[in-house]
Amino acid sequence: MIYAVGLTYGQKHEEMLEMDKMAFPYTCYYREMNRKFNAVVPWHWHKSIEMDYLLEGKMELVMPEQTLLLKAGDICFINSELLHSFHITQTAECCRFYAHLFDASLLYGMPNSQIQQKYILPVLGNPSVTTVHFPDGSRKHREIEKVFLDIVKKDQEHPWGYEFSVREGLSKLWCLMFEDFCSGRETVLYKEEAGSKRVKEMLRYVHEHFREPLSLKNIAGASGVSPQECMRCFRKNIHLSPIAYLTEYRVRMAAEELLHTDQSILTISENCGFSSNSYFTKVFQKIMGTTPSAYRKNCLKDGRIPSSKRYGIS
Return the pLDDT at 27.
93
Residue 142 pLDDT level (bands cut at 50, 70, 90): very high
Pairwise CA distance, residues 195 & 202, whole Å: 11
**Residue 72 confidence class, pLDDT cut points 50, 70, 90:** very high
Which amino acid appears at position 110 of this protein? M
- Give tens-digit pLDDT for 37-61: 778 888 999 999 999 999 999 999 9
pLDDT of residue 139: 83
* Residue 49: per-residue pLDDT: 96
The mean pLDDT of 230-252, rounded to a whole number, is 94
Q: What is the mean pLDDT of residues 28-32?
A: 91
Q: Are 206 and 227 in contact (CB under 8 A)?
A: no
Helices (H), ranges, 131-288: 141-157, 162-182, 194-209, 216-221, 227-237, 242-260, 265-271, 277-288
Backbone torsions φ then ψ of 159, nearest 5 degrees = -70, 165
Q: Is the dihedral of CA 241, 71, 101, 81 positive or negative?
A: negative
* Adjacent-strand bridge partners of 310: 3
**CA–CA separation, 157 and 143 (whole Å):** 21
Answer yes or no: is pLDDT of 289 > 90.
no
Element (H, E) at 28: strand 26-34
Question: What's the pLDDT at 307?
Answer: 39
pLDDT at 299: 83
Dump pLDDT digits (tens) for 84-94: 999 999 888 88
